[in-house]
Amino acid sequence: MVTKPFTTSCTIEDELLYTLVKLRLGLVNKDIAYRANIDKGLFSKIFHRWLNILYRELKQLIIWPDSETLRKNLLKCFNEKYSRVVCIIDCFEVFIQRPRSFDARAATYSNNEKHTTIKVLIGILPTGAISFISKAWGGRALDKIITQQSGFLTKINYGDVIMADRGFNVFDDIATIGAHLVNPAFTKGKKQLSGMEVETSGQMS
């Protein structure tokens, strides 16, 4: 069997394409390198170089608008019930290969996913645009800790309303700023939700 020699260079367009394919599909470097007929080490360098380029060029698109601008563009479904909402927050996790270091393995193991992950806090405007992205944390980190230490709280102003999932127990941190946290009700510690809780949770979903 004759092995086709590796391509030693790629066009800029191909480099960007391979990077976007990895980000979208999560393929391992060896797989993409095989498909592109390039050395795995070369693709690794390409990928990390383009990550830095994308970060530098696209980070300016993540902005936290002033309250007046946000109110002008608020969707009707928010304007009727949650006119003070400025952001919806959540943490998402990305699977990673298991680190060799036991300390790193422990820090990145996610009890939710039962896998090693990195976790990122993301904030989304009621209009759907991304307004905040934290640095990556190990999957073991609690949502509350990430919210407290990521710099997100410095974005909030007095009177703002933040929406979050049930796992975000940061009521006190947000209340200290004079803002308010809204999240769906849950049945922990009680047999069922009240009619008001069911209605409110339904409006948020």
Element spanning 162, H or E: strand 161-164
Query: How many CA atoms, within 13 angstroms, populate the side-chain half-sphere of residue 75?
Result: 10
123 plus 171 within the same structural domain: yes
State pLDDT tens for residues 67-110.
888 888 887 777 777 888 999 999 999 998 899 999 999 999 99
Angle at 108 between CA 104 and CA 114, to 5 degrees: 135
The confidence score (pLDDT) of residue 177 equals: 95
21 plus 73 within the same structural domain: no
Gap between the Cα atoms of 146 and 152, Å rounded: 9
83 plus 171 within the same structural domain: yes
166 plus 87 within the same structural domain: yes
95 plus 175 within the same structural domain: yes
Q: Is residue 186 situated within a structural domain?
A: yes
Q: Is residue 7 situated within a structural domain?
A: no
144 plus 185 within the same structural domain: yes
Q: Is residue 1 situated within a structural domain?
A: no
The confidence score (pLDDT) of residue 82 equals: 83
Looking at the 3D structure of the chain, how many domains does it have? Answer: 2
Binned at pLDDT 50, 70 and 90, residue 6 comes out as: low
Mean pLDDT, residues 127-148 taken together: 94
Q: Is residue 86 situated within a structural domain?
A: yes
30 plus 103 within the same structural domain: no
19 plus 92 within the same structural domain: no
Q: Is residue 95 situated within a structural domain?
A: yes
Residue 48, domain extent: 12-60
